[in-house]
Amino acid sequence: MDTAEKFDDKAPGNMKLADQIEGEQAMDETIRYPDQTVGTPYVDNPKMRMRDVEVFYGEKQAIHGVSLDIGKNEVVALIGPSGCGKSTFLRCLNRMNDTIDICQVKGNLHLEDQDLYDPKLDVVELRARVGMVFQKPNPFPKSIYDNVAYGPRIHGLANKKYDLDEIVETSLQKAGLWNEVKDRLHSPGTGLSGGQQQRLCIARTIAVSPEVVLMDEPCSALDPIATAKIEELIAELSESYTIAIVTHSMQQAARVSNRTAYFHLGRLVEMNDTDTVFTKPEHDLTEAYITGRFG
Amino acid sequence: MDTAEKFDDKAPGNMKLADQIEGEQAMDETIRYPDQTVGTPYVDNPKMRMRDVEVFYGEKQAIHGVSLDIGKNEVVALIGPSGCGKSTFLRCLNRMNDTIDICQVKGNLHLEDQDLYDPKLDVVELRARVGMVFQKPNPFPKSIYDNVAYGPRIHGLANKKYDLDEIVETSLQKAGLWNEVKDRLHSPGTGLSGGQQQRLCIARTIAVSPEVVLMDEPCSALDPIATAKIEELIAELSESYTIAIVTHSMQQAARVSNRTAYFHLGRLVEMNDTDTVFTKPEHDLTEAYITGRFG
Amino acid sequence: MQTGNLLLLLVVMIAGAYYMGHRRSFALARPLGGIRHLHSLPFYYAMRTAIWCAIPALVVLGVWLAFDDTLIRNMVMGSLPAASQPVDGSAANLMLNQISNVASGALSPASVSPEIAAAAEKLNSLRQLNTMAITVVVIVVAMLGTAWGWVKISPQMRARQQVEKVLQTLFMLSATIAILTTVGILMSVLFESIRFFGKVPATDFLFGLHWSPQTALRADQVASEGAFGAIPLFVGTLLISAIALLVAVPVGLMSAIYLAEYAPARVRAFAKPALEVLAGVPTVVYGFFAALTVAPVIRQIGESIGLDVASESALAAGLVMGVMIIPFVSSLADDVITAVPQALRDASLGLGATRSETIKKVIFPAALPGIMGGILLAASRAIGETMIVVMAAGLAANLTANPLDAVTTVTVQIVTLLTGDQEFDSAKTLAAFALGLMLFITTLLLNVIALHIVKKYREQYD
Amino acid sequence: DTRDYISIVGSSTVYPFATTVAERFGRSSSNPTPKIESTGSGGGMKLFCAGVGTQHPDVTNASRRMKKSEFAQCQENGVKDITEVVIGYDGIVFANSSKGKHMDVTLRDLFLALAKEVPDPKGGEKLVANPYKTWKEVNPALPNTKIEVLGPPPTSGTRDAFNELAIEGGCKTFPWLKAIKGEDKSKYKAICRSIREDGAYVEAGENDNLIVQKLEKNPNAFGVFGFSFLDQNRGKVQGAKVGGVAPTFDSIASGDYPVSRSLYFYVKKAHVGVVPGIEGYVKEFTSEKAWGGEGYLAEKGMIPLADDLRGDMQKQARGLVSMTDAELH
Amino acid sequence: MSKTTEQVRKSLAKRYRAERRFKAFGVGAIGFGLLALVLLFTDIIGKGHSAFFETYVKMEVTFDQDTLDISDVRDEEQLNFANYDGVIRNALREEFPSASGRQEKRELYSLISTGAGYELRDLLKDDPSLMGKSITLWLLADDDVDVYVKSAQDDRLESRLSDNQKSWIESLEAQDRVELQWNQSLFTHGDSREPELAGIWGAVTGSFFTMLVTLILSFPIGVAAAIYLEEFAPKNKFTDFIEVNINNLAAVPSIIFGLLGLAVIIGLFGLPRSVPVVGGIVLTLMTLPTIIISSRAAIKAVPPSIREAAMGLGASKMQVVLHHVLPLALPGMLTGAIIGMAQALGETAPLLMIGMVAFIVDVPGGPLDPSTVLPVQIYLWADSPEQSFVALTSAAIMVLLSFLIAMNTLAVFLRKRLERRW
Ligand SMILES: Nc1ncnc2c1ncn2[C@@H]1O[C@H](COP(=O)(O)OP(=O)(O)OP(=O)(O)O)[C@@H](O)[C@H]1O
Ligand SMILES: Nc1ncnc2c1ncn2[C@@H]1O[C@H](COP(=O)(O)OP(=O)(O)OP(=O)(O)O)[C@@H](O)[C@H]1O
Ligand SMILES: [Mg+2]
Ligand SMILES: [Mg+2]
Ligand SMILES: O=P([O-])([O-])[O-]
């Protein structure tokens, strides 16, 4: 927690610097990419193990040979500049990329012993085990209640209406939305404010209690208090579940994660203990990023 | 700029406090709302003048009697907890609420001398003068180029293809997206990453150079560097335009705005110079919010 | 000039007006510093000029064409000597036809009286004059309109609003056509229905259980009291439509779902239009198919399990009709299902739902209004179909719910009554109109209910 | 708008013959081929009698005679002078698949098999709802098959003629039924011209080809349709003898076959000389090579009038003699 | 393993069964639809293919001036009305001198189609020097002969031909003087009472003009009406009422539209009967609900966020509609047009009322000439006694379906290009 305070989020020391770092591309030519990721991307006995993941959108390669592990009951933060491939990588982990026609995934991805891209794999089970909160809140055009109850219903997690009510309530409570919506559980989820929708989507995902939770910028539309609530939730979840979170807030990464992975233009540049990443980053790209400048 | 550093965004001093502030509702009963907004909501010779604005979604009232001014070339930040009505209020300012059937707006809203809800008003012209960046990025299902060129095209801002190309390029550059997309201007805007889409929407809005720019959490999906770029853009724009920005990042509010308005459950609690709001807030609700706790 | 050529010329002139308006708006914009200083885009100024060119000219042309014939006729008739003036309107019509036929050479001048031959020549010369005059006038009006539109262009002019107003008015007029059609249809059945109910008590018609087409067609044919109980017809309609929908809705919907959600693009590109062909096969063909291929099969199967199947059966007609209306459901549903945003699919799949669960629980409700529209169209088509029923289900108005019996439908009776040997005023012919009215009201009620259901269950996305 | 072609409407029964004539007329004259609409006799009358003027037809065909009411309507609308032309006969046959048994029925059998109400089989002058299920029950000489007859609907002229000639003809063979005619004409008609509605008689629409094809599929069923369809489908279907007479060309022409009716067309005299070619068309129709005993209409299945009748009719037609109210009944 | 995973595993087999069942239903449904289509097509093609060829008989004919009764070969009039049939009869008599008696001669003459005479006329017109000469020609056979020649050996027993005629044909067949040739008249002629001369070109042109009128009127009007109702009309009880009414119009039996057309377009506006313009207008009224309903569904399916985005940039309502909503909704609108037009193309009942169920020999030259349309031609042929019309009917259906497929292909191609997921 202490590292968190060091960072003044989104306020690069010298704002004018942004001018100089206009062209990432230009800079890329001068900086050598590490052949291998620096730091400690692997752990013993991981929950998920990814090796040499490459992702293509049509011709365009979005992820270049990324290898990393996510340990059991670990919170891994994925950080990096916009467009660097965080969401793309995250979506590989429960095969949501399948839904994009032009998207192709190569490499070795495992959830425990299960090869994720094994043709025989059961994606439904996989996605039930590996839940996801999407970057853009996408509530169903159904009532708030039905949004949250959707997962439990399809998986048959509640036997009685009473159980379901309870799941809905605790999920919404955990996502910090219960008080705001308890009087309007049956009004449509699409009629919520941006931040409320985001929390609804979080509640919807945790309602099925997946083993691994993937969160793509879950707090992007939230105020500090709601954010705190979600971070608390993450802490709570990490006691029994495994979590990968994409965030653009380095403070948040510092606060919630055990290890942090820094992505840059589709490559995993560095992965280390969160403390290490934020106090003594090994790679100069990482350092440039976390100090709010490049090089 | 200096106030900005005081805030550790999204990190309430004591995270466990979040537990106690679970129920805003519960708290509301004990706290008296000011009959009038505290601080200095009004300025001389404002660009936009709003009085006693009330907004209803069907039966439900989302904004209760909000009055404030936005001065010329001023950057006003709207802050407040998720669901407090920031977006709703912002959408009144260029009548985007018209598109929601059940939404009803009451009160007096003026852009310079123009009554916004005058039945004779040409909303099209209004919206050309008051541009908006929406909370959820919503690119057109067209190419990146066409997304940005759309506004200039319908407003006849470019006489020749060459001019249009230039507008598109500078807009994308200002939004910090040019380098990432210059090679794929003609691929679809919907195939961009979350943050890229957000910047595309910003570029699209500034391409028509409206007099007033309304931005609803424009940096929510952006990393610090891209955020810095946008903040710089805001600073640049404020030299000739008027800006209202909704943000959940108090640091950002502190960095970019001249005055800050704090909303709470549909009411404007306090509006003051940004420095004042963040250093010596007048209302206890404001103080509670900016210090990351309530009461 | 021929009207067709004149119209072509007008199109050219409209294009010219557009071009001139465009040029002028740019010319006006240049000193101001670009088109951004105009109120509207050059396109709108150009469109406005084109509209000014087109609308007055078209109105003049329309009015002229509506009246020139009458005028010329009157002039030709006026030129005839008093002695050979026709006695009444229809005689005048005939005489004119004769004159025109002589003028065009279809009748030889020798076969008619000299006055007529003279009139024919006059007609020819008047016609020539007329075409010349119309050409000149229309061109002049178009030019004047263009000039007016062109001169009026100014940087402050709200051309976009004006053009949009014209467009919106056109849109509104289009919608009015649909409404006028409704009114027209109501009118065309209402009066005759009232006359029918003057002859046959409404209660007999509405609640009567016996529909006997053997009433007196002619006064001298059969004198038994006519039985005009419409219930068997409505039951028959319901039965056949229900069978058809039982085929079309599941098949159509499942096809749509499969095409939109499962099928590879190539399969979809082929199968969707292929199914659409089913809607265009003439109903006579379906009729033969139902009567000569499906009905005998049903009969055989029925007899092999010991059922007594009429050679004409609701089942055969309903099944084949169901096939015919499949595309109404499949294509419309496919379109709206495709239109459901991907984000919703992702949300559901991301929670571990199977595809079918996603479809059933998320996509289907979101696409419901469109799907309902397709089903309503299909049902409407089923209700309105005649040929298949006549050929495969017969014309006997049995009050039965047994799909193996012969039944008939309201529409079939309307058609047979209207096209059969008819007498002007008999209750029998009028009954067609009363049936039409009843059908109109019934389907109206069904539609109200459908609208209600859609409103209730609609899930608006985004 | 000028009309330079003849416009003809009316009966679907006459349609095949009228079109044959029209086609030949169009080919062999400088006039355009007439346009012929198949509207049914009643529909044709309605259009024909709507008035004079180019928007109204010049000629209407009918498979029955013009009714008094229709004539009155014509007069009322200014269609004063009408020439009536009888062109020939149409036999109505009772037929089944060639695969089925050949039948020889009497009118009485037809009445008993198909009427709505029949004299009580147990005897007595009482009417009961038609109880017969098989032909054998009607007449022991007939085969033991279910009564199933496909025929036209009541809106069709063929059905009228069948009711009038066959069913009523059978009905009249019961003297006590015939006697009702004198007492209560309408009651008589109700009894003698009503067809059963319990499924034994199947109203199969106006498409005779469909009936023929259905008969092929179902050898036990019988059908009621025009002679030309029997003529053209010899080999597929066979016509039953009625009253011992087989439906042949000659038997119908001679009047031996009991179920046949006359075919007509009506000319609007006011249009003659106005619409070019009407006289020519009438001439072609009434020429020997068309409606004569060996004419091309006979080829098409129309049964010609007797020679002397033809002569009279030809004179009447070519002279455009107007008909009067009094001729109709 | 978490509780969820366990629970999910347990239920999974069942859910997958449901999934497979669901998918199988989908495949089954498509299969059913396509099977129906294939069945219909085989049925039609099986019946109709033979109509594309017709029988010709080789004969030597002499253009005998006396028989022809022509005094001056340059006189059009005389050429037009000469006795060509006589020439053919002479040829037949020479070929089969055994035929005696009126009955037998009639049988003999009826071997050759009445159309053969017109062929001779055209030959002579082209080359007057033929006068007096003998040439060998393929003459069009009568339809009964055609049926006989085409039918299989054992079906020949059912033929209408007399024994004499059969033996004559067989002797000609033995000499290889009977041949099936491409049926050109089918694609060039209008209707005829003689099956061997009947063609569908008149109906095809009629259908073309009718569909053109229908398309030009119904698509723009339907789309415009849908846009107005969905985007511009105020949302209230009245517009609800209109929506219901338009849906209801779809259920009005098509013949009623014919009645309306008869009363208004012919009665009130005085347009002539039997012309494609009137047919097109009536079919437009009938098709409009289909197009409006599907267009509205397509417009409704456009996500509001797209509209908001455009409006936020200062696009006017009209611009939002024309630039964003319309392109996204067009595929759905085209679907409406496709099935609406398909229905219109196959429709007969309303045309009955406005006089398009007619015998029209001359191929129409424009939308104001009397004409018939393909489905009506099919309906009329299906009701004709001559056996040859059975095959012709199916051939006409094949042509109609080709017409339909051609019409749809364009629209389907357009639709495919416009479709996208977002
Ligand atoms: N379309 C709608 N229909 C009904 N209620 C709505 C609708 N949109 C917003 N609301 C409600 O109005 C209130 C204010 O919403 P608003 O979107 O203005 O919040 P906000 O301040 O922008 O919050 P956030 O920071 O989460 O975006 C919330 O309680 C929300 O649930
Ligand atoms: N559907 C798609 N089609 C084509 N390219 C895509 C698609 N989605 C993403 N990309 C591209 O792939 C790259 C990585 O995108 P991704 O969404 O993973 O970025 P990200 O790290 O999540 O960024 P952000 O922080 O902005 O969300 C970007 O260059 C993006 O433009
Ligand atoms: Mg992302
Ligand atoms: Mg908001
Ligand atoms: O058309 P009809 O001959 O039956 O009147």
Cβ neighbours of C50 (radius 10 Å) = 24
Domains and CATH numbers, chain B: 35-291 (3.40.50.300)
What is the A85 CA–ligand 2 centroid distance (Å)?
6
Cβ <8 Å between D236 and E158: yes
Q: Name beta bridge partners: A267.
A: A264
pLDDT value of position C422: 66
- Is the minimum CB–CB distance between B209 and chain A shorter than 8 Å? no
- Is the minimum CB–CB distance between D187 and chain E shorter than 8 Å? no
% of chain B beyond a pLDDT of 90 = 50
pLDDT value of position C215: 55
pLDDT, mean of residues C35-64: 91
Distance CA E332, CA E340 (A): 12
Interface test with E, best of C43, C166, C174 (most E CBs within 10 A): C174
pLDDT value of position C53: 93
The answer to whether residues C57 and C33 belong to one domain is yes
- Is the minimum CB–CB distance between B194 and chain A shorter than 8 Å? yes
Please indicate whether residue B193, judged by its CB atom, sits closer than 6 Å to ligand 2.
Answer: yes
pLDDT value of position B257: 93
Residue B92's pLDDT band, with cuts at 50, 70 and 90, is: very high
User: Do the domain assignments include residue C138?
Assistant: yes
Using CA coordinates, name the residue in chain C closest to A100: C342
Q: Using alpha carbons, select from C332, C243, C340 the residue that is nearest to residue C294.
A: C243
Q: Answer whether A touches D (≥3 Cβ pairs < 8 Å).
A: no
What is the E303 CA–ligand 1 centroid distance (Å)?
19
The answer to whether residues C418 and C429 belong to one domain is yes
Using CA coordinates, name the residue in chain A closest to B2: A11
**E222-253 tens-digit pLDDT:** 999 999 999 998 888 888 888 888 888 888 88
Least confident range from C123-132, C304-313, D304-313: namely C304-313
**Option in B122, B154, B156 nearest C38 (CB):** B156
What is the B17 CA–ligand 2 centroid distance (Å)?
36
Least confident range from A134-148, C212-226, C249-263, C361-375: namely C212-226
Cβ <8 Å between A127 and C345: no
Cβ <8 Å between A240 and E5: no
**Option in A125, A141, A151 nearest C351 (CB):** A151
Residue B8's pLDDT band, with cuts at 50, 70 and 90, is: very low
Residue B33's pLDDT band, with cuts at 50, 70 and 90, is: low
Q: Which of A66, A86, A91, A133 maximizes ligand 2 atoms within 8 Å of its Cβ, making it the mutation to test the pocket?
A: A86
Widest Cα–Cα separation across chain E? 109
pLDDT value of position C1: 63
Report whether pLDDT(A23) > 50: no
User: Do the domain assignments include residue C260?
Assistant: yes
Q: Which helix (H) or strand (E) holds E82?
A: none
pLDDT, mean of residues D237-265: 90
**E4-32 tens-digit pLDDT:** 777 778 888 888 899 899 999 999 999 99
Please indicate whether residue A193, judged by its CB atom, sits closer than 6 Å to ligand 1.
Answer: yes
pLDDT value of position E32: 93
- For residues E254-275, one letter each, b for 16 or more C-beta atoms within 10 angstroms of the residue's C-beta and e for the rest, the string is bbbbbbbbbebbbeeeebbbbb
Q: Using alpha carbons, select from C409, C357, C366, C402 the residue that is nearest to residue C387.
A: C409
| Domain span holding position C101 | 3-156
pLDDT, mean of residues B219-246: 91
Domain containing C415 — which CATH number? 1.10.3720.10
Please indicate whether residue D40, judged by its CB atom, sits closer than 6 Å to ligand 5.
Answer: yes
pLDDT value of position B225: 86
Q: What is the DSSP letter of C110?
A: G
Please answer whether residues D190 and D117 qualify as being in contact, where contact means their C-beta atoms are separated by less than 8 angstroms.
no
Q: Considering only residues 124 to 163 of chain B, which have any Cβ-Cβ distance to chain C shorter than 8 Å? A: 154-157, 159
The answer to whether residues C185 and C274 belong to one domain is no
The answer to whether residues C119 and C254 belong to one domain is no
Q: Closest ligand to B248 CA?
A: 1
The answer to whether residues C297 and C406 belong to one domain is yes
The answer to whether residues C174 and C240 belong to one domain is no
Counting the structural domains of chain C, the total is 3
The answer to whether residues C449 and C393 belong to one domain is yes
> Which residue type, as a one-letter code, is found at position A223?
D
User: Do the domain assignments include residue C217?
Assistant: no
Give the atom of ligand 5 at the shortest distance from the alpha carbon of D40: 1
Please answer whether residues D167 and D160 qualify as being in contact, where contact means their C-beta atoms are separated by less than 8 angstroms.
no
**A232-241 tens-digit pLDDT:** 999 999 888 8
Report whether pLDDT(C404) > 80: yes
What is the count of residue pairs from C and D with beta carbons less than 8 Å apart?
157
The answer to whether residues C333 and C300 belong to one domain is yes
Residues in chain C: 462
Please indicate whether residue D61, judged by its CB atom, sits closer than 6 Å to ligand 5.
Answer: no
Q: Closest ligand to B89 CA?
A: 1
Report whether pLDDT(A3) > 60: no
pLDDT, mean of residues E41-61: 90
Report whether pLDDT(B256) > 70: yes
Two structure tokens written together for B266: 């549909």
The answer to whether residues C99 and C179 belong to one domain is no
- Is the minimum CB–CB distance between C93 and chain D shorter than 8 Å? yes
Helix E143-150 crosses helix E163-174 at what angle (to 10 degrees)? 60
> Which residue type, as a one-letter code, is found at position B290?
I
Please answer whether residues A147 and C360 qualify as being in contact, where contact means their C-beta atoms are separated by less than 8 angstroms.
no
The answer to whether residues C242 and C391 belong to one domain is yes
Give the atom of ligand 1 at the shortest distance from the alpha carbon of B263: 21
**C60-108 tens-digit pLDDT:** 999 998 888 888 888 888 888 887 788 787 888 888 888 888 888 888 8
pLDDT, mean of residues E259-272: 87
* Homologous superfamily of the E201-418 domain (CATH): MetI-like (1.10.3720.10)
pLDDT value of position A10: 43
Using alpha carbons, list the distances in angstroms from residue A259 to A206, A287, C341, E175: 22, 16, 35, 98
What residue's CA is closest to ligand 1, atom 18?
Answer: B85
What is the count of residue pairs from C and E with beta carbons less than 8 Å apart?
316
Q: Domain coordinates of chain E in residue numbers?
A: 55-182, 201-418
Distance from CA of E35 to the nearest CA of A (A): 30
Q: By three-state DSSP, how is residue C122 classified?
A: helix
Please indicate whether residue B198, judged by its CB atom, sits closer than 6 Å to ligand 2.
Answer: no
Distance from CA of E17 to the nearest CA of A (A): 13
User: Do the domain assignments include residue C257?
Assistant: yes
pLDDT value of position C221: 45
Q: Are strands A242-246 and A75-79 parallel, antiparallel or unpaired?
A: parallel
pLDDT, mean of residues C103-127: 86
Give the atom of ligand 5 at the shortest distance from the alpha carbon of D14: 3
What is the A63 CA–ligand 3 centroid distance (Å)?
13
User: Do the domain assignments include residue C192?
Assistant: yes
Cβ <8 Å between A138 and C346: yes
Instruction: Dump the DSSP string for A89-153.
Output: HHHHTTTGGGGSTTEEEEEEEEETTEETT-TT--HHHHHHHEEEE-SS----SSBHHHHHHHHHH
Q: Considering only residues 262 to 291 of chain B, which have any Cβ-Cβ distance to chain A shorter than 8 Å? A: 289
Q: Using alpha carbons, select from B6, B41, B48, B106 the residue that is nearest to residue B243.
A: B48
pLDDT value of position A6: 45
Distance of CA A80 to the CA centre of its chain: 12
The answer to whether residues C234 and C95 belong to one domain is no
Near ion ligand 3, which residues have CB within 5 Å? Answer: A 87, 135; B 193-194
pLDDT value of position B34: 57
pLDDT value of position B55: 94
pLDDT, mean of residues C163-178: 92
Please indicate whether residue B212, judged by its CB atom, sits closer than 6 Å to ligand 1.
Answer: no
Least confident range from B122-126, E18-22, E199-203: namely B122-126
pLDDT value of position B15: 37
Give the atom of ligand 1 at the shortest distance from the alpha carbon of B100: 1
The answer to whether residues C314 and C297 belong to one domain is yes
Q: By three-state DSSP, how is residue D84 classified?
A: strand
Cβ <8 Å between E359 and D206: no
